[in-house]
Amino acid sequence: MWLSVILIVGMLVCLGVIAMTLRNSKYIFRIPFGIYFGWITIAVVANVTVLLVQMGVAGQNTTAELWTGIMIGVATLIASTYVLREEDPAYGFTVLWALVGILIKHLNPAQFNGAYPSVIGAVIFALVIIVAVIGLYFYRLYNAGTPKKEVPAKK
């Protein structure tokens, strides 16, 4: 598991360098790397969680549900920060997609069947945050080209 975490963190770093290099490129070039960077970010969070569980760190004084909520929170914080700072909604949509997948798995009768309501609540909260952050990005984008109305000076 250690090797897996090292390799995937290496991929994350490489994609981060690519994303920063493409920061000022046309958006069409940024989209594929934003999507890939988003997936690798979620994969790193998942792999680190598995490693911590294997090491026994995640199980000490915390339940699996609490630990899952913490990791969903970490992923949400990373995604929100990145989308707003780097203005990359493709990254945010990818994290949104991953969270929807987690929610579907937890609600599916053939899988978790709603057995972990705190995880479902954490995912729904994370989805709301990510949707709001992506919405804020588009709001800023829309208003960036809108000239500000000048307020007449008082006489």
Q: Where are the domains of the chain?
A: 2-144
Question: In the chain, where does DSSP find H-type helix?
Answer: 2-21, 27-55, 64-86, 89-107, 117-144
**Residue 26, pLDDT score:** 77
The tokens describing 44, both together, are 């790193």
Q: How far is CA 82 from CA 5, 19, 21, 55, 119, in A?
A: 21, 11, 15, 29, 23
Please say whether the beta carbons of 42 and 95 come within 8 A: yes
Q: In angstroms, how far apart are the furthest CA atoms of the chain?
A: 72
**pLDDT surpassing 70 at residue 85:** yes
pLDDT tens-digit readout, 10-61: 999 998 888 888 887 777 888 898 899 999 999 998 888 888 878 877 665 5
**Residue 51, pLDDT score:** 84
Please say whether the beta carbons of 73 and 126 come within 8 A: yes
pLDDT tens-digit readout, 102-154: 999 999 999 999 998 998 999 999 999 999 999 999 999 888 766 555 656 66
Distance CA 81, CA 95 (A): 12
Distance CA 100, CA 93 (A): 10
The tokens describing 96, both together, are 């949104």
